[in-house]
Structure 1
Amino acid sequence: MGNSAVGADGSPQTDGEEPEGPRRSGPGKQRSFWRELPILVVVALVLALLIKTFLVQAFSIPSESMQNALQPGDRVLVDKLTPWFGSQPGRGEVVVFHDPDNWLAGQPTSNPNVVQKVLSFVGVMPSANEQDLIKRVIGVGGDTVECKGTGPLTVNGKPLDEPYVFPGNTPCSVDQRGGQFKVTVPKGKLWMMGDHRQDSEDSRYHQADKNHGFVPVDEAVGRAFVVAWPLSRWATLPVPGTFDQSGINTRAVVAPGALSLAGAVPVVLWRRRRGAARTR
């Protein structure tokens, strides 16, 4: 009679016999997968919604106002993260913004179906039926932007070199509605213009609205940084070098020496207080 032993699961085991492991059936695995699938779908949709809300959102270009940088039907990705850290749109950036005061009146709107609306809501598809526009930032708070004749367009007295302007267009228009202007951008506002200067209803043509054509910074959704679709049109959207030219920035700049002095004052006062405490 052979000796018997107790297996790891408490069942009797005889010499020379291997313990039997737990048996798993193929159908059991399939049932487990199908039970987990809805959870995976929900997690994926939640992640997509969070990405759309806080990180990146896709937008579809509906018109010719930003040609040739952007063509109708292009899909751009918009950075929505940096504004959460206090960053504001800068000169030369291509920015998506909410309609500030009925700029899109009379424009045709799309009629997406239920599926398109859901996919758009979670960010899988470009935003549908939202009142958003896309233009280039020309002036920020404190800037003076001016157009005379056919151009060039000037910012703080500095003429801009604008190779992105649609071929055949002039930087400035000579029409009476808004082609000729000189404006000073208030703090917290933006002056926006399309690259297709003779086919863009931008800040120039809305100077009679409640914002006098300026776009509040709070209405900015984010900066468009890449053309993602179609793949044949893939390209980044960098800030043109003309906006970095010397003298264009009118914002007050504290000299490094002044910063060093300002930082040294608290240190001197602290050391004096320590010295006084020791002599007491």
Structure 2
Amino acid sequence: MIERRRAAVAYACALVVAGLVAATPFTASAQPNGGRIAFNMGFDTSHAYFFRGIRQLRDGVILQPYADATIMLLEGGEGLNSIGFTVGQWNSFHSSGRGTTSGPHTWYESDFFTGFALELENWEAGVSYTAYMSPSHSFGTVQEIGINLGLDDTGVTMLPLPLQPHLALAIEVNGQADGGASEGVYFELGIEPGFDLAGGSLSLGVPLTLGMSLNNYYEDGGLTNDTFGYLDLGLVLGMPLNVPESFGSWELSGGAHMLLLGRYLESLNGGRQYQAIGSLGLSIGY
């Protein structure tokens, strides 16, 4: 799973880009992106931010803009379909800012990520590096190496819907996401069946994710490691926008998630075992 500018700037950029699309005359010379470099940007808004089940914020307004670029190093190979290199940035801005007086209070998180992904037949595998940083000094920098594997099982099984299963492994090499005493190892299993609605003008995904600690990822402050972290069941509705192809692919999305938290993550969430999260977003790919 691989999502990350100031809130006002992000909103302004989105409005400016939308205005340009509405006001610019389209000519025959405008062409869709046919090159080897692809760009992706957007933002999500929510009322709560949980990272792998760990509560970050549960009140106020949250804006999470992101941008990344992917260079296709190989395309159209036999067996090995493609190899891509991605670099990007993800941010989280909170209206109820917290942190020290030495940093911008609302800029809670700024993540840098990069990695390689390859497609082999209907499999996709990737390895990545991510640095989770806090400009507001709300937490210490965490660095991790990620490994992921996904399967496009469309037409492979006898099921009426493809499950799109994936697994992910995250190894902390410096710092701890849970603020514990030692670096940990996180493991994730998930599926995301989906289908089109309204003749393809809408899409509905039903992601289900299980997050676990293989080693010291969810430490309870003592010597105990909770293996079960969380279970996340979601409904995500996507609506492509009618924007000329030469301006990329635009999509609005809305989601609702219900988290079931393990014992330690429940304690971090003020004793609440269940947590509902809603979100709205806009993504632009070119």
Q: TM-score range by the shorter chain?
A: under 0.3
More strand by share: 2
- Higher helix proportion (structure 1 or 2): 1
Which structure: larger Rg? 1
Q: Considering Cα pairs closer than 8 Å and 6+ residues apart, tell me whether 1 or 2 has the greater RCO.
A: 1
Q: TM-score scaled to structure 2, two decimals?
A: 0.21
